[in-house]
Amino acid sequence: MGKKYFGTDGIRGQVGRSPITPEFVMRLGYAAGRVLASADRHLAKDKRPTVLIGKDTRISGYMLESALQAGLCAAGVNVRLTGPMPTPAIAYLTRALRAQAGIVISASHNPFEDNGIKFFSSLGTKLPDEVEHQIEAELDKAMEVMPSVALGQVKRIDDAAGRYVEFCKSTFPNDLDLRGLKIVLDCANGATYHVAPPVFHELGAKVITIANHPDGLNINADSGTTHPQQLCKAVVEHQADLGIAFDGDGDRVMMVDAAGNLLDGDQLLYIIAKHRHQQGTLVGGVAGTLMTNLALEHQFNHMQITFERAKVGDRYVRELLVKNHWQLGGENSGHILCLDKHTSGDGIIAALQVLAALNAQNQTLLEAGQALKLYPQVLINLPVKQRIDLAKNEAVQAVVKKAEQSLNGNGRILLRASGTELKLRVMVEGVDGKLVSQLADEIAEVVAKEAK
């Protein structure tokens, strides 16, 4: 059964338009509170469920935070506020503070005009589909405010940032440090602006920060994982050893080597996996997604590392890892999961894992990045007014079949609808870059025509 509001990563949209309005978010808080209250009947009568709320640096976060806590309190749920914090920090703190759920107000890598609501379970994982269905069912019911004596209370957690900084540092090997490294951090004017610099500095690195002055409107603007050009330039200008870019809510990471070359999630995943494989600490195989570059799959096959693809979305990567009892997986967008370190994808922790691998092997990022040459891959995002069934559209399938014949087994084609935006994505990859680009344009032209 499909969901009305929840997508692959919570509920997201443009602020002021349904569903990202104060009224809806208040009702959402109430609905989530009612579901949590009913699930926590084992608690003593004088104890109420507690929910953690964090947010990124968007100006709309203040408004939506107030609406959320109003709805939760009306349902009899206590609220703990962290202020601006990375999404993975809320996953960690929810678990560490024994809260019944965590909520993040963020639209991740989207522009500041958008916002969204993400939920974490008490275990620090994304909510199961059945719980999201229960919340949506409660949304259809009228709000009935609890009696005043049973209303939830709101408190602020003053040491949230410090707790998370220490947690991130604890995932780095005790016998290693970052002394001698000059690192440029691009915080995307987002939630990592006040936690990422101390993590790397306290581990010994000389840290230079860019895009770490959020004003509510500049999150992800010409910075971060979606716009890494400034980081590439800054690394070269400062003669740094490497650069690290996060997205607005800190669950994605990309890195830049000393020559200014960008390494995406696939390349970083390879560095981590290769090190663990050589050390004999890789548990099982590695999980990727339908978007993972074919070169990485071929390299893993050559190394006799089992590799499987999940649907696009870090929640699906995690589901595959849990199913197979594996620990390592990720997406080329920069979501990297190390389940032996954290329950969710975490940009800071993933970067530390890459640095630990480089340190242990006495390699630079420039040297490590040259070990995997990605195949040319073209991704075209088509804004559309309506989604079409790409698998059943005859014109689309005809042009795809023709393109597959041209690739002759030396590439892949993937068409899919975005789970967070009203866009259709066309991806073509293969050994021949010129052919890949040509085929992507041809397919995109047909898809755009059919989706009018």
What sign does the dihedral 36-38-44-45 (CA atoms) show? positive
CA dihedral 219→221→227→230, nearest 10 degrees, is -110
Query: Where in 317-417 does DSSP place strands (E)?
Result: 328-330, 336-338, 377-383, 411-417
Q: 311 and 290 in contact (C-beta within 8 Å)?
A: yes
First-to-last alpha carbon distance for the chain, in angstroms, is 27
Give CA–CA dist 99/408, Å, rounded: 53
What are the phi and psi torsion angles at 22 (to 5°)? -55, -40
SS (H, E, C) 33-52: HHHHHHHCCCCCCCCCCEEE
Contact 349, 341 (CB under 8 A): yes
d(CA 416, CA 419): 9
Of the candidates 108, 223, 333, 344, the residue annotated as catalytic is 108
Structure-token match 């630990």, residue found = 356
Give the DSSP letter string of 206-245.
EEEEES----SS-TTTT-TTT-THHHHHHHHHTT-SEEEE
Cβ neighbours, 10 Å, residue 424: 24
Q: What's at 315, amino acid-wise?
A: R
Examine the residue annotation and report whether 108 is marked as an active-site residue of this protein: yes
Both tokens of 93, joined, read: 């703190």
State the burial class of residue 180 (Cβ atoms within 10 Å of its Cβ: 0-12, 13-18, 19+).
Answer: exposed
What positions carry a catalytic annotation?
Answer: 108
